[in-house]
Amino acid sequence: MGELAVETVQLTKKYSGIAAVKDLNLKVPQGKIYGFLGPNGAGKTTTLRLITGLLKADAGKVFVQGKPMPESRLDVLAKTGALIEKPAHYEHLTARENLDIARRLYHVADTAAVDRALKAVGLEEAAGKKVKTFSLGMAQRLGIAYTLLHQPELLIYDEPTNGLDPVWIHKIRTLLKDWCTKYGTTIIISSHLLSEIGQLADEIGVISEGRLCYQGTVPGLIGKTECVIGIVTDDQIAAADLIRKEGVVIQWDDDNTLFVTGTPSRLQAVKKALKDKGIHILNETGKDSVDSLEEAYLSLMNNEASVS
Ligand code: ATP
C-alpha cells in the first residue's frame, strides 16, 4: 500500500468524559475520494476537526501526509482546504473581497486564483455582491471556493452539498472528481447523501457511535451485505440438507419456502451447488444482492443497532 494521505491511530476524543470518537483507525489513501459516513452524532465532524487540528485528541494519533497533528498544523493547513460545518464569511463584503482576503491569508500571489475559484463554483456574476445577500446555496459554494484557492493536496468537506440544488450537487460532484483526477488531490467528504457518495467515493469509512464499522470500497461493502432469498425447489428436503452443508443460514416457513440468508457470493454458491446436484429452483423471491450503497449502509446500521 502506498503512503496514506491521512491516518488516524486509535484516535479517541471525549466530551465531558463521554467518547464521541473511540479507537478510530482511518486509512485514507493518497489521491482518492474518501466518503465518510455515519448517522447523526456518530462523530464525523469531531473526527474531521481532529484531523485538521481544530480539536486535540484525548488519546491516539493523527497523521496527515505522514506528519503528526496538531504539531504540524501550520505546515499541513497550508496544503489543505477544509470546509467543516457552516462556512464563515464577512457578510458585509463581496464574494470577491472575501476570497481575496483568503487568498492573501494563504499567501497565494496569483490574483487570478480568485477568479478561477469564483468560476469553479459558478459565482463569477455574483462576485461583486455582498455576501449578506447570498442564498444558502451561494454561501455554501463560496465556502467551497475558499478551499480551492491554493490548489491544496488535501480537501476536507463536512456536508459540502448543504443547501445546494440538484444541478449544483451534480456540478460540485463533477468538480471534485476532476480535481482529484487532474491534480491528484485527496478528498475526504462527509455526507448523508448516500447516492452522491456512491457515485463519488473510491473508498468509504463508516462510523457509528464513534467507532469504525466499515472501511473499504463500496463494492466491498455490498459484497459483505447479507441478503435473504426465499426458494422453492423440486426437492426441499435435499435442498435444505445441501444448504446446511454450505454453512448458510436457512429457515422454513409454513408455505414450505426455504429462506436462505447469506452474502451475495454465498447465495450464488448455494444456487450453483443446488444446480450441480440436479435440484431445480421452481420459485425464488427476495434479492441475492443489494444494488446500492444506501441498501448496504442501512443493513450495516441495522446490524450495528442489533449488536449494541
Ligand atoms: P451529524 O451527522 O449530526 O453532523 P456527526 O457525526 O458529525 O453528526 P459530531 O458532531 O462529531 O457527530 O458529534 C459526535 C457526538 O459528540 C455527539 O453525541 C455530539 O452531541 C457530541 N458533541 C459534539 N460536539 C460537542 C461539544 N462541543 N460538546 C459536547 N458534545 C459534543
HEC per residue, 134-150: CCHHHHHHHHHHHHHCC
- Rounded to whole angstroms, the Cα distance separating 13 from 50 reads 8
Q: Is 53 near ligand 1, meaning CB less than 6 Å away?
A: no
Residue 85's nearest CA partner among 13, 9, 18, 143 is: 143
The arithmetic mean of pLDDT across residues 189-206, rounded, is 94
The arithmetic mean of pLDDT across residues 16-45, rounded, is 96
The arithmetic mean of pLDDT across residues 203-228, rounded, is 95
Given a cut of 80, whether residue 112 has pLDDT beyond it is yes
Q: Is 43 near ligand 1, meaning CB less than 6 Å away?
A: yes
If you measure from the C-alpha of residue 249 to the centroid of ligand 1, how many angstroms do you get, rounded to a whole number? 38
Q: Is 55 near ligand 1, meaning CB less than 6 Å away?
A: no
Residue 8's nearest CA partner among 170, 212, 176, 295 is: 212
Q: Is 41 near ligand 1, meaning CB less than 6 Å away?
A: yes
Given a cut of 90, whether residue 301 has pLDDT beyond it is yes
Given a cut of 90, whether residue 93 has pLDDT beyond it is yes
Picking from 31-35, 71-75, 85-89, 257-261, which range would have the lowest pLDDT averaged per residue? 85-89
Q: Is 44 near ligand 1, meaning CB less than 6 Å away?
A: yes
Q: Is 62 near ligand 1, meaning CB less than 6 Å away?
A: no
Extract the C-alpha cell encoding 299.
Answer: 443493513
Residue 288's nearest CA partner among 219, 227, 223 is: 227
Choice from 8, 12, 15 to test ligand 1 binding pocket (greatest atom count within 8 A of CB): 15
For the CA of 21, the closest atom of ligand 1 is 14
Domains present along the chain, CATH in parentheses: 4-220 (3.40.50.300), 226-289 (3.30.70.980)
Choice from 11, 45, 192 to test ligand 1 binding pocket (greatest atom count within 8 A of CB): 45
Q: What mean pLDDT value characterizes the chain? A: 92
Give pLDDT, residue 122.
95
If you measure from the C-alpha of residue 180 to the centroid of ligand 1, how many angstroms do you get, rounded to a whole number? 29
For the CA of 38, the closest atom of ligand 1 is 6
Given a cut of 90, whether residue 272 has pLDDT beyond it is yes
- For residue 260, give the amino acid letter: V
Give pLDDT, residue 125.
95
Given a cut of 90, whether residue 244 has pLDDT beyond it is no
* pLDDT per residue as tens digits for the range 128-179: 999 999 999 999 999 999 999 999 999 999 999 888 999 999 999 999 999 9
pLDDT band (50, 70, 90) for residue 1: very low
What residue has cell string 463508516?
A: 206
Picking from 58-62, 101-105, 134-138, 250-254, which range would have the lowest pLDDT averaged per residue? 250-254
Count Cα atoms within 13 angstroms, Cβ side, for 288: 13
Give backbone dihedrals phi and psi of 88, rounded to 5 degrees, phi first: -105, 125
Instruction: Name the more confident of 143 and 245.
Output: 143
Residue 180 neighbours by CB under 8 Å, 6+ apart: 31, 32, 33, 186, 187
Rg (CA), the chain: 24
pLDDT band (50, 70, 90) for residue 304: confident
* pLDDT per residue as tens digits for the range 39-78: 999 999 999 999 999 999 999 999 999 999 999 999 999 9
The arithmetic mean of pLDDT across residues 247-255, rounded, is 75
pLDDT band (50, 70, 90) for residue 307: low
For the CA of 210, the closest atom of ligand 1 is 14
The arithmetic mean of pLDDT across residues 239-268, rounded, is 86
Could you tell me the pTM of the whole model? Answer: 0.92
